[in-house]
Amino acid sequence: MEGLDRAALEQVSEYFKSLAEPTRLCLINALRDGEMSVSDLAEAVESTPANVSKHLSLLASTGFVERRTQGTSVLYRIADSDIYALCDLVCGHIAKRIAAKVMSRQ
Amino acid sequence: MEGLDRAALEQVSEYFKSLAEPTRLCLINALRDGEMSVSDLAEAVESTPANVSKHLSLLASTGFVERRTQGTSVLYRIADSDIYALCDLVCGHIAKRIAAKVMSRQ
DNA sequence: TGCTTATTTAACGAATTGGTTGTATAGTAG
DNA sequence: CTACTATACAACCAATTCGTTAAATAAGCA
């Protein structure tokens, strides 16, 4: 992303922003094992269908999830599994930080 | 990050949040070639020292950058180059999306 | 010591965002 | 058709955030 101009960086930040919310990360986690309906997801993340629907719309707008209608339900699924690589990188960074903190305390 | 509880996901989201801002991404880009002072960074990203200082503090709190004092200046540098892998993953995702959009239009 | 420069911090305002509530839409069953 | 269910959407509020401005802190130098 070296040569990106301001507008491009703004777009990149939009994508990070879509992952910068615990409820959305929780939804992404819940979708690990396959597609789920909005109401099931709402139960899984302990929130309301309206709220979950809004978060899923945002995740769909950045292309991390996709939707499919089945009867009166809407099933969401992960569209780009790179999303997990992203999360793992961040988790690794956090782990590194914790390890460094432990070392410095010795 | 599969088995993370709510508190852990909140922490993960904090890290994504620190990258979810165009000015901060711009600062990270500017630091590619080595450490820079706050005022030089402010000029590079076309902002004020006060604003840049605040952004750098946030990036330091998540451990993506580190600071070093030299005289009256403070030099910042990238502390974990995984940050670029993160950005590249997001950029790749965006590129994929654009490519898919182009394909679907043919 | 006092003066200058570099950085940080505090206080403020405008804008954005997560969650709720109520309503609208769409599909299914009777 | 009506009733019911699932989802989406709009309006609203509380809380957060980005940027600015002004004041505070710290280091170097006359």
Nearest CB to B88; choose among A1, A22, A32: A1
CB contacts, 8 Å: B32 with chain A: 2
> Residue B104's pLDDT is what?
84
Contact status of B26 with chain A (Cβ, < 8 Å): yes
Q: Residue B62: pLDDT band by 50, 70, 90 thresholds?
A: very high
Asked whether residue A106 carries a pLDDT value surpassing 90, the answer given is no
Residue A89 lies in a domain: no
Q: How far apart are CA B88 and CA B85, in angstroms?
A: 5
A87 located within any domain: no
- The pLDDT tens digits for B28-48 are 999 999 999 999 999 999 999
User: Is the predicted pLDDT of residue B15 greater than 90, yes or no?
Assistant: yes
The domain that holds A42 is classified in CATH as 1.10.10.10
In the 8-state DSSP scheme, what is residue B76? E
CB B18 within 8 A of CB B56: no
Hey, which bits of A20-84 come out as E strands? 36-37, 65-70, 73-78
Check B2 against A90: CB less than 8 A apart: no
Is A106 among the domain residues?
Answer: no
Does a structural domain hold residue A92? no
Q: Is B39 exposed, middle or buried (0-12, 13-18, 19+ CB in 10 A)?
A: middle
In-domain check, residue B87: no
pLDDT digits (tens, 9 = 90+) for A56-82: 999 999 999 999 999 999 999 999 999
CA distances from A27 to A22, A67, B3 (A): 9, 14, 13
Interface with A, mutate which of B31, B65, B88, B94 (most A CBs under 10 A): B94
Q: How many domains does chain B have?
A: 1
B98 lies in a domain?
no
Query: In which band, very low, low, confident or very high, does the pLDDT at A2 lie, cut at 50, 70 and 90?
Result: confident
pTM exceeding the 0.85 threshold for the entire prediction: yes
Q: Is residue A25 part of a domain?
A: yes
Q: Is A72 in a helix, a strand, or coil? A: coil
The DSSP call for residue B46 is: T
CA–CA dist B45, B52 (Å, integer)? 9
Domain span at residue A47 reads 6-80
**Alpha-carbon gap, residue B58 to B66, rounded angstroms:** 11
Q: Is B92 on the interface with A (CB under 8 A)?
A: yes
The answer to the question of residue B44 being in a domain is: yes
